[in-house]
Amino acid sequence: MKLVLATQNQHKITEITQILKYPGLELLSLTDFSLAPDIKEDGDSFRENAYLKAHQVTQLTGETALADDSGLEVTALNGAPGIYSARYAGEAATDIDNNQLLLKQMAEIPQNKRQARFCGVIAIVKPNGESFFAKGACEGLIATSPKGEHGFGYDPLFTIPKYNKTLAELGPAIKNQISHRAKALSAAREIILSLLA
């Protein structure tokens, strides 16, 4: 079975392929199709955006597609940046831009009020239109400055209390067990195995 990852984000491709390795499952990405579709993420939720991406890639490739949409929800900011996490500081924002804006927004928030969660939804869409969903979440705190060299996005600011380290400090071995994406992929794995059967 071929499964097309509906992303060109190399960090996501690496994370997903590390978690979803199965005999009989061929993982591809948009780069394997020389496609650079302009997929609009204009849904009102992570679930809608994940579906929009997977559905469009299935239509373009004729193969089953997997897409995720995820983001950071900060309690003190009423759930922001949420579905706008990747473009929090603007459409062309870099990870550094987004992190700097978040730190600015959180400057006056005391340590005991810095709770946040990463949320993610995975959509799997088959060429016949069938769709399946899985979700995951990871609870943490927003650090007062970036720490660590691993990961991407908000990983340098997202502290896991159990380890007292950011995701960027923990590295991929632990992140791929505890992250929102890892949890969503774990749930998606059962769906994929049933499709392989």
Cα torsion 142, 84, 178, 18: sign: negative
C-alpha–C-alpha distance, residues 167 and 50, integer Å: 23
Cα torsion 127, 129, 132, 133: sign: positive
Q: Does residue 69 carry a catalytic annotation?
A: yes
**Residue of 69, 95, 97, 155 marked active site:** 69
Backbone angles phi, psi at 36, to 5 degrees: -135, 60
Q: Torsion-angle region of residue 34: left (phi > 0), alpha (psi -120 to 50) or beta?
A: left
Q: Which residues contact 149 (CB under 8 A, 6 or more apart)?
A: 168, 169
Q: Is the peptide bond before 161 cis (omega within 30 degrees of 0)?
A: no
Helix axes 180-196, 10-19, angle to 10 degrees: 60
Active site positions, annotated: 69
